[in-house]
Structure 1
Amino acid sequence: MPGAMNSTEADEGWNLALSRGDAALRAWVLSHPTDLWSEDIGLLLAMAATYRWEGAAGAWRALPYLEKAEILIEARPETSGRLRASAAILRCLVQRSHGDLFAALHSADAALEILSSSHSDIRDRLDLRSAALLKRGTIRVLTGDLFRARGDLERGLRDADATLTPHKRIEALGFLAIVEVFTGSVTEAHRVMRTARPLADRMPGGLWTAPLEIAEMLIAAERDELRHHAPALRRLMSEVDGSEFEFLARHLQVLLAEECDDLEGRFEAIRRMRVIERESTGAALLGVIRMGDRAQALMRAGDLARAAVVLRDESDPAHLVCGAALRARAALAIGEPHRAVDEIRNCFLDEDHPIRSLTYAAAIDAQARVLLGDLRSADAAFRFLLRECARSGALRAFRKVPGRVLSLLIERATRDDLDTAERALLELLASTVDAAGDIADEAIALSPRERMVLARLAAGESPRTIAQSLHVSLNTVKTQLRSVYRKLGASTRDGALERARSLGVLTT
């Protein structure tokens, strides 16, 4: 190697990548003769590392340096385990940025294997093992393997010492908070945020804070407060565009559009999620989230046939988005509460269901039981929902229940023996139920004439009798009834009437 540096100098480049700013590090490397740093593994890896927080574009810039370092490692069997593991971790980051998650997971495993081998001394294992665990944990989040991801992230954070930079700690804590939101505990996610936020506030902004900001907004969505974060979400979208975090930001756009009842905005964000999904490998979390977002948007649009196709093709063994609960919701939409109960029955027996999914299932189950007149079972489902949401701090599941049904359940629950947190949540719901209503099924936009036709249909009049009473043609009444059925998402008279009653469109 021309003008070879000793091992201490070779390692210094990588150490600077962990302790100094990227611009200063690049200047330091480039201050050496090209024929020196271009043949030095440590300096090449240091140069590659300076692009690690620049998303997909940075990953492409890092590749020439990383690939040259890997060639030199292959040609030099004596290369230290530290440099070998560092190269594998960087390769993992590049692959994660490109959406090649299966390959990224393999690289993270390779780094851990190197650190467990005879190539590595104890210092290497102490310094880099936690970094490799954290990287594997972040990838497992993106692949949807959330429970094992939590294990990697918690172990990596627990085992990390002072060599773990604030950037890496902030990113890992952000991913851990995302895991907590998706698996059910908003309260636990908020606890993680209390640890991470002071660290992030002391650091300049960068891509490493994206998971943290995403987690904050997911928490806000579960608490029905995402609209207050709309400016921050717009800023986040510009920062993560083209990165591995973009699809989660797009999901937040869907949630914001849902909260604001912007159906067109929901579909636009979902279409973009589909593009990202096609460009990724192993992004199971994206597929599951997009499936749930699309099915719910189609149901809100009244396109139950297409929603059924989406749910038929769903594959979510971890039940992060419970297909059975969504199918039950579709059954309610066409006035079939018995089928809704049947769809959900097994959810409460499945140990794989996260609490977050179970609360959504309980909300739909409670609604179906009310429509069937089984108030005792409805009370039990609502009490489960109330208990779990009081613990987790989440409110979004209550938005799945029509306002009139929710009011009834709240009134009945006030007679129960509730703890302080449950009582406080019940009082909050009681104070907001009329304003909040049910976002997915609220205020069907029937015209005055359509409401009149629907009311006469509910009174038992035939279309011909309605036409005679209103002094219009039979074809006009049939056209209005088709419009009513479409808006209510029903295909039969009984289904339309059941749906209208559940939404409060019919009060008799």
Structure 2
Amino acid sequence: MGDPFLRTRIALPARPATFLRRERLVTRLDRALRTPLTMVNGSAGAGKTLLVADWAAGLGRPVAWLSTESADQGPGVFWAYVLHAVRAGGADLPAEVGCPVDARRVDHTLLARLAAELNTAEQSVVLVLDQYDRVSAPEIADQLEFVLRHAGRGLRLVLVTRNEPLLPLHRYRADGEMTEIRDAELAFTPEEAALLLDLHGLSLPLDATRALVDRTHGWAAGLRLCALAAQESPDPETYLKEFEAGRSTVADYLLAEVLKQRTPQTQDLLLRVSVLQRFCPELANALTERDDAESILVELHRENAFVEDLGHAWYRLHPLFGEILRAHLRVRSPGLEQELHRRAAGWLRGSGHLQETLAHGAAAGDWEFTAGALVDDLAIGQLFTSLCSDDLAELFSRMAPEASGAATHLVRAARDLCRCDLDRGLVHLRHAEEALDSAGGTGGDATARLSWALLEAMVARLSGSPDRAKNAAEAAERLRYEVPAHLLDKHPELTALLLTHLGSTLLWAGRFDAASGALSTVVGGARGASTALARQESLGHLAMIDYLHGWLGRAERKAMAALAESERFGLPRPSGSGVERLVLAGVAVDRNELTRARALLDEAADPGPVLRDPVSVAGRALVTSRLLLARGDPRAALAAVAADLGTEVVSPWAESQSAMVAAAAHLAEGRPQSAAEVLRRVPDGQPACAVEAARAQLAAGNHEAAITLLDRLRTDGRAGPAVTVRGLLLRAQAADGAADGAAVHRLVGQALTDARRERLRRPFLESGPWIRGVLGTPALQKLAAGWLTPARPRRGGPAGAEPPPEPLVVEALSGRETDVLRRLAQMMSTEEIAADLHVSVNTVKTHLKSVYRKLAVNRRNDAVRRARELHLL
């Protein structure tokens, strides 16, 4: 053609002073010397050219470099440049190979001579074709593949491109004869980004660097342009954290290199889908009102035009590119963004993508639509599940006050009840009910009425109204047959939450059997993340029932299962009402593990925006007052007893438990008559109260009255050791006063046997001085040794030497602490113990700290040794 060869096209590009050599990628490129074909495929500005140029410069051998041009006039010019680059790179090609004489074609014989010459060369030629995506002629790809195939080991071809070339790549991949580096590998890691910023004179904290990498997806050009701009800022860290992508050199680069290179139709599509987090061709078509999205998206992804393939025909934009496009959209088409959000919300709702529907409906400002989508999907329970509840609450916090309708009132009521704001929640719930009634009894409002029933049950729980909860549950049961079955299957959390609220309310009312039935249905129902909170709450309330009946072991197991449920699904801590921790604290008090009880109460203290129902409030007051009694502060215990909670019904167990605490406080201060008077006001039929009343009579010297009360006691197998052991000890005390030694030993022995299984200590500590001598007798000492009194010393040792005093374990190990200790004795690591017990490493560490404290040791080996001395292993 008469044009001279341009030396700039065959010269290695210069690397800037701030170029960062990344060894992990250089190592990957070194494989290029072992495979015929290497492809470095990435988006514009990904750092492909400089990476390969730096590698080639440090290779220590000649490299043929050619930057291709789209202006080349056919195969003849392309191959003329290839031959010139190979010779300039140091390869000794004989003149017989020839040179193309026609710009539009190349003789096949020339290509065969070139391939044959390369095949017999002593050293292979490394040929780098930069910007190969500019080569669009299919015949060039065929010719290049012919030369590569027949050159054998004599040619190592490196293609630097924005898209996949028209070569049979599948064959090279299958044969293991291809090295690839793609966009994901080209992306800078946070550590590499920190080094790059340092080369620009910028030193940022690692978290700020990570945030920048997340925003740019490690895109090389974006990082460099941001660094250059930050150099001009007086506060680089703040600039990099808050820079407006739409008004930056990054925007200029992407708009020029990516957007403006496209057709008007492609530009329009890119701008419109920029409002989406992800999109498929059908959704893109809904926004453009055309039908060409599929082919455009496939081409954009193939060309690495900042469109990422998520699989299953879904795509997303590079986050920084999307941010810039949205800013450009607002300038080019003011007001269009809100309409695009509205269209997206409509399409997504019809396709069953709820979370995205809500996000786009909110962005469009269409709150009736958005609230209606949540309610119609039967998903209002998600506001309470702790998994996405914060996101939903934040989204609907922006709801315009003028938005009205049954769905908006239901969502407002749910948000208020989430925060336990009963008064405001009731107002919105009443408005929702009025809106539903005014709309008539059409079948289309079944999901709204079922959502109302859930919120009504929660109101009943917060207000302590069992009749209201029962009515809500019955209404929900009727509505289940009007709601599409697939919605009930999709949202099992709604039924689980409703039954949990019902069970809690029935528990408050003292209807333990009915409460257990509802709560057990939840525990045995659908398992999964959406129902995890309901199962945790139900297990915690079942544990409370066992605790109130005096079955400490059962209560502890259920409470621990509740904690495991929340831990398994990563629920926030604390979550729900925290009743399971209150039960564990109560169990710890009865076992005289007072430090543990205080820690558990602190964990459940003031949990913030989680459920505070009458059961948890009364439970906290009860356990706190019992802990204060155990610590010898009866006045504080009396002050901590639950006051009137303003519930619709008075809880019989809360009333009786408060009376028992008050009576115990009076007894501790020497006022048995006051204690007896408090307990007389409690309705009959409460075994624990009857035992406490007998204790008051015994303290007043009325032994016969005490025995009469105990004889009347009928537990029907419901009362557990925490109740029955106290009754046995009171009978033993009365027998001691009557000098009936045989009865004393028999009754205390039975009490020790029953209490040992539960590690129940408080009844013995509350019994007074008379029991110490009884426990010291040989017949009973064995039953008390090691868990209630110090273990007996071992035999052996030097003659005349006193055995070393063995420590008393003041607080016994819990079941889970014992499990951890046994695995500790097996030389298992903390991580292995966590895996074996299916708990987190942090949970194991917490148990270990408790074990060390209780055994008065600081190291693992000492803990095992001490446990063996105390016969705990």
- TM-score, normalised with respect to structure 2: 0.44
CA distance in structure 1 between the aligned counterparts of 2:742 and 2:514, rounded to whole angstroms = 38
1:258 aligns with 2:634: no
Q: In the alignment, which of 52, 72, 77 is matched to residue 435 of structure 2?
A: 72
Larger RCO: 1 or 2 (CA < 8 Å, sep 6+)? 1
Who is 2:395 aligned against? Answer: 28
Structure 1 residue 335, shift from structure 2 partner: 2.6
Between stretches 284-293 and 181-190, larger displacement belongs to: 181-190
1:145 aligns with 2:516: no
Q: Is the 8 A contact 2:464 2:508 kept in 1?
A: no
CA distance in structure 2 between the aligned counterparts of 1:16 and 1:247, rounded to whole angstroms = 27
CA distance in structure 1 between the aligned counterparts of 2:719 and 2:382, rounded to whole angstroms = 44
Q: Is the 8 A contact 2:663 2:679 kept in 1?
A: yes
Code of the aligned partner of 2:391: A
Code of the aligned partner of 2:428: Y
Structure 1 residue 181, shift from structure 2 partner: 1.6
CA distance in structure 1 between the aligned counterparts of 2:559 and 2:617, rounded to whole angstroms = 20
Q: Taking structure 1 as reference, are residues 9 and 238 closer, same or farther at Cα in structure 2, changes over 3 Å only?
A: closer
Code of the aligned partner of 2:713: C
Q: Is the 8 A contact 1:18 1:165 kept in 2?
A: no
Who is 1:105 aligned against? Answer: 469
> In the TM superposition, what are the counterparts of 1:34-45 in structure 2 within 5 Å?
38-41=404-407, 43-45=408-410
CA distance in structure 2 between the aligned counterparts of 1:394 and 1:214, rounded to whole angstroms = 17
Who is 2:224 aligned against? Answer: none
Q: Is the 8 A contact 2:461 2:501 kept in 1?
A: no
Q: Which runs of 5+ in 2 are unaligned?
A: 1-365, 792-807, 811-873
> In the TM superposition, what are the counterparts of 1:48-63 in structure 2 within 5 Å?
48-55=413-420, 58-63=421-426
1:322 aligns with 2:689: yes
Q: Which has the higher strand share?
A: 2
Q: Taking structure 1 as reference, are residues 2 and 388 closer, same or farther at Cα in structure 2, changes over 3 Å only?
A: closer
Structure 1 residue 259, shift from structure 2 partner: 0.9
Who is 1:281 aligned against? Answer: 649
Q: Identity over the aligned pairs, expressed in percent?
A: 19
- TM-score, normalised with respect to structure 1: 0.72
Who is 1:95 aligned against? Answer: 460
Who is 2:193 aligned against? Answer: none
Q: In the alignment, which of 777, 789, 794 is matched to residue 430 of structure 1?
A: 789
Query: Per the alignment, in what secondary structure is the counterpart of residue 165 of structure 1?
Result: helix
Structure 1 residue 125, shift from structure 2 partner: 5.6
Structure 1 residue 30, shift from structure 2 partner: 5.6
Structure 1 residue 243, shift from structure 2 partner: 5.0
Larger Rg: 2
Code of the aligned partner of 1:312: R
Residue by residue, what CA displacement relative to the aligned partner does 1:85-126 show, whole Å, maximum 9, x if unpaired?
3212212212322x332344334433453356x434544665
CA distance in structure 1 between the aligned counterparts of 2:708 and 2:702, rounded to whole angstroms = 10
Query: Per the alignment, in what secondary structure is the counterpart of residue 414 of structure 1?
Result: helix
> In the TM superposition, what are the counterparts of 1:255-404 in structure 2 within 5 Å?
255-270=626-641, 273-276=642-645, 281-319=649-687, 321-323=688-690, 325-347=691-713, 350-351=716-717, 353-404=719-770
Residue by residue, what CA displacement relative to the aligned partner does 1:246-304 show, whole Å, maximum 9, x if unpaired?
2221112211111110122112112xx2343x555232222111111111211222222
Who is 1:196 aligned against? Answer: 562
CA distance in structure 1 between the aligned counterparts of 2:452 and 2:464, rounded to whole angstroms = 17
Q: Is the 8 A contact 2:457 2:472 kept in 1?
A: yes
> In the TM superposition, what are the counterparts of 1:435-454 in structure 2 within 5 Å?
none
Q: Taking structure 1 as reference, are residues 155 and 429 closer, same or farther at Cα in structure 2, changes over 3 Å only?
A: same
Structure 1 residue 165, shift from structure 2 partner: 3.3
CA distance in structure 1 between the aligned counterparts of 2:381 and 2:713, rounded to whole angstroms = 50
Query: Per the alignment, in what secondary structure is the counterpart of residue 131 of structure 1?
Result: helix
Residue by residue, what CA displacement relative to the aligned partner does 1:334-353 show, whole Å, maximum 9, x if unpaired?
23333322221232675554
Q: Is the 8 A contact 1:379 1:412 kept in 2?
A: no
CA distance in structure 2 between the aligned counterparts of 1:187 and 1:330, rounded to whole angstroms = 27
Q: In the alignment, which of 770, 774, 777 is matched to residue 408 of structure 1?
A: 774
Code of the aligned partner of 1:253: T
1:177 aligns with 2:543: yes
Q: Taking structure 1 as reference, are residues 316 and 108 closer, same or farther at Cα in structure 2, changes over 3 Å only?
A: farther
Q: Taking structure 1 as reference, are residues 264 and 11 closer, same or farther at Cα in structure 2, changes over 3 Å only?
A: same
Between stretches 15-24 and 177-186, larger displacement belongs to: 15-24
Who is 1:230 aligned against? Answer: 598
Q: Is the 8 A contact 1:171 1:208 kept in 2?
A: yes
Q: Taking structure 1 as reference, are residues 26 and 91 closer, same or farther at Cα in structure 2, changes over 3 Å only?
A: same
Q: Is the 8 A contact 1:115 1:124 kept in 2?
A: no
Residue by residue, what CA displacement relative to the aligned partner does 1:158-180 show, whole Å, maximum 9, x if unpaired?
02343743332222222122122
Q: Which has the higher helix share?
A: 1
CA distance in structure 1 between the aligned counterparts of 2:486 and 2:467, rounded to whole angstroms = 27
Q: Is the 8 A contact 2:694 2:709 kept in 1?
A: yes
CA distance in structure 1 between the aligned counterparts of 2:501 and 2:482, rounded to whole angstroms = 21
> In the TM superposition, what are the counterparts of 1:116-131 in structure 2 within 5 Å?
118-123=481-486, 127=492, 128-131=494-497
CA distance in structure 1 between the aligned counterparts of 2:599 and 2:715, rounded to whole angstroms = 41
Q: Is the 8 A contact 1:227 1:259 kept in 2?
A: no
Q: Taking structure 1 as reference, are residues 312 and 148 closer, same or farther at Cα in structure 2, changes over 3 Å only?
A: same
Query: Per the alignment, in what secondary structure is the counterpart of residue 159 of structure 1?
Result: coil
Query: Per the alignment, in what secondary structure is the counterpart of residue 425 of structure 2?
Result: helix
Code of the aligned partner of 1:136: L
Q: Which runs of 5+ in 1 are unaligned?
A: 416-422, 438-508
Residue by residue, what CA displacement relative to the aligned partner does 1:166-221 show, whole Å, maximum 9, x if unpaired?
33222222212212222222222222233222343432234515212211211111
Residue by residue, what CA displacement relative to the aligned partner does 1:289-341 show, whole Å, maximum 9, x if unpaired?
1111111211222222222221222115343x332x22221222123333322
Structure 1 residue 59, shift from structure 2 partner: 2.3
CA distance in structure 2 between the aligned counterparts of 1:113 and 1:155, rounded to whole angstroms = 14
CA distance in structure 2 between the aligned counterparts of 1:349 and 1:398, rounded to whole angstroms = 21
Structure 1 residue 155, shift from structure 2 partner: 1.7
